[in-house]
Structure 1
Amino acid sequence: MYRPFRVNKNIVAIIALSLTSIVMILALGYYEIHVLGNYEVALKCLNRLDDKQSLVEEITNDSQHILQRLMEDVSFDADEISEIKSRDLKITLNMVTLSKSNKTEAEEEAYKALDEAIKDLGTALMPMLLRNDHEALSIEGYHLILRNIMRSVHRYEKILDAQVDTVHNQIAAYFPVAHGNIGFTTLGISFLMLILTAIAIFYTRRYNFKIYDMAHRDKDSGLFTRQYFNEVVDDILAKSSDLRGYALIDIATINEVDGTLGAEVGDQLIADIGSRLSQTELGHEISGRLGGCVFIFLTKPFNSIEALNSDLERIFTLLKQPFVIKGYNITIDLNIGVSIYPMNHLKATALEQMSGNVLHLSKKTGLNRIDYYDDNIKDSISSNIEMSFKLSKALKDGDFYVEYQAIKHRHDSQIVVYEALIRWLDDGVVIPP
C-alpha cells in the first residue's frame, strides 16, 4: 500500500539543534578571539599609559625640586650637589624612556615641547654643577624655565588623560556592567551549549532507535525482518545446543482478503497476526516475517516432540481465532512447516530452507496442517527439482515428439480417430508414460 513521505520531526529537531550548537560555538569563538582579545589589548594599552603618566609625574617632581633649590639664595654643599645631579640624571633617563615609547601625533608634539623645556633646565644647571654658581640665572629666569616645564607637563598629561578615557570607554563598550563579567559570560554560553548538546544527544539516540527499528523490523507486521531474524537466530543457536524448532507459517487467507475486502483490511490483518505472534507466552523465542504471506518463529528449547507439538498447537490455535477488522470476522487458513535444530541443520538459513520445503509440500496436501521436515521430504524435493531441470532441458533440445495411436470401434474394429501422444526421448531411451 502506498504511504506518502512525511518529514520526521526528530530529524528536524536534531538539525535545528545541531545548527544552533554550531552558531553558539562560532559565537563563543568570536567572543573569545575578538572581545577577549580586544579586552587584553585595551588592558595593555592602559598599563602603558599608566607607565607614561608615572614617568611624567617623576619628571615634574624632580624638575620642581631642582628649580626650587636653585631659586634659594644659599650655597650647596657636596651632598646637595650630589642630590641635584642624581635628580637630573633621573630626569634624563625618564625622558629617554619616554622617547622610546609609542606615541600619537599629538603626544609626539607635547613630548617635543617638554624635551625643549628640560633642555633649558639642563643648560641652567651647568654653572651650578661645574662651579657651584647658582646665580648664573636670575630668579625670573628660573621661574620662566619652571613655567615652561609645567606648561609642557600639563599639555602632555591632558593628552594622556584623554587616551586613558578612550581606553576606558572601549573596555566599557565590551563589558557594560563590570570588567569582571568575562568568566560569567563564558560560563553562561558554555552551560547553554551543554544543554543544547544534551538535548541533541537525547533526540539523536531516540531517532537512532527508530532507525534501528526501521532497518530490522517489518513495517506492516512490526516483527523482525528475515535477514535480522536469521542473524539473531544464529546468535542464539551458537550459544546453546538445546533442541529448538524453526517454523514457517503460510497464511493462505491474506491474498484472498486483499482481493475481496481490500488492501487496507489485508494490511491490518498482517499487523494483527504480527501482534499475536509477538505474545511472549506462546512458547517461542523470537518471531519475524519472511515476506508476503509467510511468517517465521523460533521456539524455545524443548525436551520432546510432544512438548514441541504442544507449543506449535498453542500458536496454531491462537492464529485460528477470528480477527475482527472493520466489522469483518476473518478466520484464516494456515500451514506450519517445521525443521529442528540441531537435528536437521545448524544454520538458520538452512533451517529456513528446510522448513520452506516442508511448507511447500504441506500446502499441496491440504490446509491447516503442521508438518515436520525429514529426509523423505528432502529426497522428494530433490527429485522434483531434478525432474523440472530435465524437462526444461528436453524442451529446449527438442527431445519431445508426437506418436499417433488409432482408436477403433469395438463392434467392427473400424478406426474412428487417432490419439496424439507426446513421447520423451532421454539420452536415446524413451521415457515410459
Structure 2
Amino acid sequence: MSDGPTYGFDTLQIHAGARPDPATGARQTPIYQSTAYVFRDADHAAALFNLQEVGYIYSRLTNPTVAVLQERLATLEGGVGAVCCSSGHAAQIMALFPLMGPGKNVVASTRLYGGTVTQFSQTIKRFGWSAKFVDFDDLDALRDAIDDDTRAVFCESVANPGGYVTDVRAVADVADAAGLPLIVDNTSATPYLCQPISQGATLVVHSTTKYLTGNGTVTGGCIVDSGKFDWSASDKFPSLSAPEPAYHGLKFHETFGILAFTFHGIAIGLRDLGMTMNPQAAHYTLMGIETLSLRMQRHVENAVKVATWLEDDPRVDYVTYAGLPSSPYADRAKRCYPKGTGGLFTVALKGGYDACVKFVDSLEIFSHVANLGDTRSLVIHSASTTHRQLTPEQQQAAGAGPNVVRISIGIEDADDLIRDLDQALAKACG
C-alpha cells in the first residue's frame, strides 16, 4: 500500500503488508514453503549476513509469508516493526531476551495468565533472571518494586483469565520515569480494542494463536516494536547499545535506529533461540486478521449480553467482566477501552470447586479446551488446569480461584449460549 492516505483499521487488517505476488499475480499472500533462498551472487550473500542489506537467507530468520504478517501486525499496533515467532510464550522470552541479563529482573503485574506467572517465577530463573509481582493498581508499589537491576515492566492490557483491564498510560508513565521499557501483552484485547503503543508502551506481545488467528488452527506469537525507546540513553541495554561481537562490533541502536529492537530480534533472537513461526501458521493468521474487527465487535456484543445474564442469575456469585456497569473497572474500561473489553471473563459459582467441574462437564455448545479467542465459545476451570501449578494465593491474585470458571465468548447466537449456560448451571448447582 502507498504511504499517502491514512487508512482505517478495517482496510489495514486486509491490505497492510500484502501485495500481489510478483511472479504469479496471486492476490492472496502465498505460503512460501521454503527453507532457504538463492543468493544473487557472493557479494549479495555477504551483504545479507553482514546486515548491510535486507532480504531472505534462511527461514529460521526470515520468510516472505511471515514478513507480511509482521508488517501487518506492526501497522495495526502502530509500531515500526515486528518479529513473529512460534508461540505467545516464545514472544515473551524473545521480548525479554535483549533486555535482561544474569541478576536482572522484570517487574510484572500480579494479574497475568497462569502460564506467564510460571514462566516468570520459575523458568526464567534458569537464565539468571527474576521477576517481582506487583498489583499494578498500586502505582506506588510499582515504583517501589523497581530497582537498579530492573530492566522491564510487564503487564497484560486485558488480563487472562479475569478480564481485568490495565491503565496502560498510568503504568507507562511509571516505566518512563524509571527509564525502562513497558511490555504489554495485548492478546486478549487485540489492536482493535487497544493499541498499547499509543498509550506509552514500548513493546507489544501477542499470542497470535488467540483472537488474531481466531479459528483455533495454529499457534504463534509476535513482538511489535514501538521504535520510541532510546536504548542508548543508559548503559542498561548493552545488547542494543554496545558493540555486538557476533557482527564485528556493530551497534544495533546506532546502526538501525528506531528498528534496533526488531533487527536484533531477527538477527540474534531468532538466529540463536530458533523460536520460528512456520509460513503456514502465518498464512492462517493473515486470513484470520482479515475479519478481526468484525469478530471482535461480535465477541464484545455477545460477552456483554451473556455476562449481564450470568450476573443476574442466583446460582452465580459474581462475574468479572469489565464491560459490566457493576465492574470496579467500568470507568477505566470506558476511558481506556471505548470499543469494549473483549470476550473473556470469569464466573464464580456459589457451589464452589465441585460445581465448577460439573458445570464445565455439562456444557454442550461451549468447548472445554485450554484456549481462548476462538470463534467458538470456550470454557475451562483454571484452578484445576491452566493455573494448577500456582499457589492458592497466586491463583486468587490471578482471578483463578477454585470457585471460578473462565469463559471465552465466541461469535455464535448469544441466546443459544445463554440456554446452554442455564442447563449446565441447573445440573451443577440445582
Q: Normalising to structure 1: TM-score of the pair? A: 0.16
Larger RCO (CA under 8 A, 6+ residues apart)? 2
Could you state the TM-score of these two structures normalised by the residue count of structure 2? 0.16
Give the structure with higher Rg (CA): 1
Q: Which structure has more helix as a fraction of its residues?
A: 1
